[in-house]
Amino acid sequence: MFEKKARPKIHPPRKFLDRAFEAIAVFAMIAGIVLVIQAWGTLPQTIPTHFDAAGNADGFGSKGMIWLMPTIIVILVPSMLILRCFPWLSNTPIKITDENAEYQYGLIFRMLSVLACVVALLFLVLVTDTISIAGGGTSLLGAWFMPAFIVPIVGTLIWYFVSAIRGR
């Protein structure tokens, strides 16, 4: 019925920037886990679990909920970093050929590196803020929080699509 030609299975070269994004993502993931472990004994039984767009805590839950963020990030970041190694599995806006595979796969690799980094930093900031508010401190978040993380995510996706289409 549908004929699907196998995509070339090549690995794009890892560049310094990709390694830097990967290192930042892994560091942020580990730092978030270490922060939770260090703060665990001092956390009250009720902690903030949700923040509005301005960074104000508007949802609360039990102390154990603090582990939700590190759990999610321990699944997301390694998944994105591992998926980079198999770019031919990705859906792309253009047809991958032998001629454009290295370039297109390099874009996918870079996009996943940047997104892993941004997501890990987002969760690190949220863990830090949760611990700060739970300990009686003030929120580190503000009106800048949402744009500061939405712009890099959407910007990365726009960069990828524009670059992929230009590099057909």
Q: Which amino acid is located at 58 in the chain? A: D
132/140 Cα distance (integer angstroms): 8
Residue 49 has pLDDT above 70, yes or no: yes
166/113 Cα distance (integer angstroms): 20
Say what the pLDDT of residue 29 is: 96
Say what the pLDDT of residue 6 is: 79
Q: Which two tokens stand for residue 149?
A: 């993380």
Say what the pLDDT of residue 50 is: 84
Percent of the chain beyond pLDDT 90? 56
Residue 129 has pLDDT above 90, yes or no: no
Q: Which two tokens stand for residue 66?
A: 């603090």
Taking a C-beta distance cutoff of 8 angstroms, is the pair 138, 132 a contact? yes
45/43 Cα distance (integer angstroms): 7
Count of residues for the chain? 168
- What Å distances lie between residue 137 and 27, 130, 133, CA to CA? 25, 10, 5
Q: Residue 71 pairs with which residues in a beta bridge?
A: none
**What rounded mean pLDDT belongs to the chain?**
89
Say what the pLDDT of residue 14 is: 86
Can you give the pTM of this predicted structure? Answer: 0.86
Residue 2 has pLDDT above 50, yes or no: no
Query: Which of 80, 63, 68 is CA-nearest to residue 126?
Result: 68
C-beta atoms surrounding 61 within 10 Å: 14
For 136-146, how does the pLDDT look when each residue is reduced to its tens digit (9 = 90+)?
A: 877 777 778 78
SS3 (DSSP) at 61: strand
Query: Which of 75, 76, 88 is CA-nearest to residue 11?
Result: 88
9/117 Cα distance (integer angstroms): 25
Say what the pLDDT of residue 4 is: 55
Q: Which amino acid is located at 130 in the chain? A: T
Instruction: Read off φ and ψ for residue 3, nearest 5 degrees.
Output: -95, 120
